[in-house]
């Protein structure tokens, strides 16, 4: 740290980035514990402006309006965004699915450094992964109000579909299940924001679909049976319930989440009236693959957290 700070000229914020999910205030405290002499504030500020020293280069957003709309859909479904300092945007989420980490990295690794670290959640007694990236200030659109985003996204079908794809990749479900002797196919959007799902209902209706109106899926306080995650807010759902409309929308949504793409391919490969006995093994194979990946990913997080805690106890 002393070499980075005094020799290479990295700022406390840069070093905080390197540590991951820590603030420059934490680095200042850490310097005190380690006996590293900090530069006077004004000197450090001016040197940073003149030298523009940065450990990880941040590149500006250079995508299309559809890329921007997709990121906003993902943001409104599953990402957090903030401005840790002027000229930068921090994006983060937590997950137990490696496919979400892959998606996050595919979006942001070329624009800034992506941090990944395991953590233990005391409220659920479970392990998960936090991922975050500090990117250029041109990603500030991820912090614009929902109303502002929806106003420009809603002007074109291509941006509406891109936004819906991001939202679906964050909190969507491709349902392939038994319906008597045949196979049913449905698409479901989930969110705690009823206003958002109401807008999705309006947009889907405008696109020619007949979605069910949003309805309550899980009330505030409900705990999921697997990971015992408590719902902090009411959890709503919106469903495309017919086979034909589900297939039609799947063909139009530019999904990027690997798990959702696997289900999309199967959903488009089957036909209305296909017997469940002919489809169930393929459904079970996808479910098992996702479950195994998730369990291994969670186990890896647990191993790393326990190893880290054991190392701390030895110090």
In the listed set 147, 181, 212, which residue is the last one of a domain according to the structure?
A: 147
Say how far apart CA 200 and CA 214 lie, in whole Å.
Answer: 9
Burial degree of 192 (CB within 10 A; 0-12, 13-18, 19+) = middle
Same domain, 281 and 165: yes
Same domain, 265 and 175: yes
The verdict on residue 297 lying in a domain is no
The verdict on residue 198 lying in a domain is yes
Sheet with 235-240, strands from edge to edge, namely: 172-179, 182-191, 235-240, 215-218
User: Which residues neighbour 80 within 8 Å (Cβ) at sequence distance 6 or greater?
Assistant: 91, 92, 93
Same domain, 76 and 201: no
- Give the predicted TM-score (pTM) of the model: 0.83
Same domain, 83 and 103: yes
Same domain, 140 and 181: no
The verdict on residue 56 lying in a domain is no
Same domain, 164 and 141: no
The verdict on residue 296 lying in a domain is no
User: Which residues neighbour 252 within 8 Å (Cβ) at sequence distance 6 or greater?
Assistant: 161
Q: What tokens does 274 get?
A: 């296909």
The verdict on residue 133 lying in a domain is yes
pLDDT of residue 42: 47
CB-CB contact of 92 with 131 (8 Å): yes
pLDDT of residue 224: 78
Q: What CATH number does the domain containing 142 carry? A: 3.10.28.10
The verdict on residue 136 lying in a domain is yes
Residue for token pair 């890896």 = 300
**Helix orientation angle between 65-78 and 157-171, rounded to the nearest 10 degrees:** 30
How does 74-112 read in b/e, with b if 16+ C-beta sit within 10 Å?
A: bbbbbbebeeeeeebbbbbbebbbbbbbebbeebbeebb
CB-CB contact of 39 with 47 (8 Å): yes
Say how far apart CA 219 and CA 200 lie, in whole Å.
Answer: 21
CB-CB contact of 249 with 238 (8 Å): no
Same domain, 175 and 241: yes
Say how far apart CA 223 and CA 15 lie, in whole Å.
Answer: 38
Same domain, 16 and 40: yes
Same domain, 169 and 280: yes
Half-sphere exposure of 129 (CA within 13 A, CB side): 25
CB-CB contact of 294 with 97 (8 Å): yes
pLDDT of residue 53: 47
Name the strand (E) or helix (H) holding 94. strand 88-95
* Residue 228, phi then psi, degrees to nearest 5: 55, 40
Same domain, 183 and 284: yes
The verdict on residue 137 lying in a domain is yes
The verdict on residue 58 lying in a domain is no
Name the strand (E) or helix (H) holding 178. strand 172-179
In the listed set 83, 115, 147, which residue is the last one of a domain according to the structure?
A: 147
CB-CB contact of 266 with 282 (8 Å): yes
Same domain, 132 and 191: no
Burial degree of 269 (CB within 10 A; 0-12, 13-18, 19+) = exposed
- Structural domain for 26, as ranges: 2-51
Q: What is the pLDDT along the chain (315 residues), one digit of tens a residue?
A: 777 776 656 677 777 767 765 566 777 778 878 888 776 654 554 455 444 545 567 899 999 999 999 999 999 999 999 998 888 999 999 999 999 999 999 999 999 989 999 999 888 889 999 999 999 999 999 999 999 999 999 999 999 999 999 999 999 999 999 999 999 999 999 999 999 999 999 999 999 999 999 999 999 988 877 766 778 899 999 999 999 999 999 999 999 999 999 999 999 999 999 999 999 999 999 999 999 999 999 999 999 999 988 888 887
End-to-end CA distance of the chain: 19
> Cβ of 123: how many Cβ atoms within 10 Å?
8
Same domain, 170 and 238: yes
Quote the number of domains for the chain: 3
CB-CB contact of 108 with 92 (8 Å): no
């Amino acid at each position: 740290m002393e070499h980075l700070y005094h020799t290479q000229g990295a700022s406390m914020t840069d070093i905080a980035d390197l540590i991951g999910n820590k603030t420059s205030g934490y680095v200042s405290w850490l310097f005190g514990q380690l006996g590293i002499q900090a530069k006077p504030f004004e000197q450090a500020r001016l040197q940073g402006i003149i030298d523009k020293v940065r450990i990880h280069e941040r590149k500006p957003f250079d995508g299309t309006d559809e890329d921007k709309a997709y990121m906003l859909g993902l943001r409104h479904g599953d990402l957090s965004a903030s401005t840790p300092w002027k000229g930068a945007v921090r994006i983060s989420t937590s997950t137990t699915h490696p496919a979400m980490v892959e998606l996050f990295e595919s979006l942001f690794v070329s624009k800034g450094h992506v941090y990944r670290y395991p953590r233990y959640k005391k409220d659920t007694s479970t392990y998960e992964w936090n991922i975050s990236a500090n990117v250029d200030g041109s990603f500030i659109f991820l912090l614009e109000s929902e109303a502002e985003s929806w106003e420009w996204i809603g002007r074109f079908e291509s941006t509406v579909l891109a936004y819906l794809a991001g939202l679906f990749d964050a909190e969507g479900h491709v349902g392939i299940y038994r319906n008597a002797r045949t196979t049913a196919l449905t698409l479901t959007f989930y969110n705690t924001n009823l206003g958002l799902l109401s807008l999705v209902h309006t947009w889907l209706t405008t696109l020619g679909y007949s979605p069910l109106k949003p309805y309550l899926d899980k009330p505030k306080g409900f705990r999921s049976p697997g990971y015992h995650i408590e719902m902090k807010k009411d959890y709503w759902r919106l469903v495309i319930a017919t086979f034909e409309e589900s297939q039609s929308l799947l063909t139009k949504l530019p999904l990027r989440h690997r798990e959702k793409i696997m289900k999309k391919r199967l959903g488009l490969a089957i036909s209305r009236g296909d017997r469940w006995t002919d489809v169930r093994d393929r459904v079970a194979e996808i479910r098992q693959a996702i479950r195994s990946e998730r369990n291994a990913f969670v186990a890896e997080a647990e191993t790393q957290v326990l190893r880290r805690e054991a190392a701390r106890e030895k110090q």
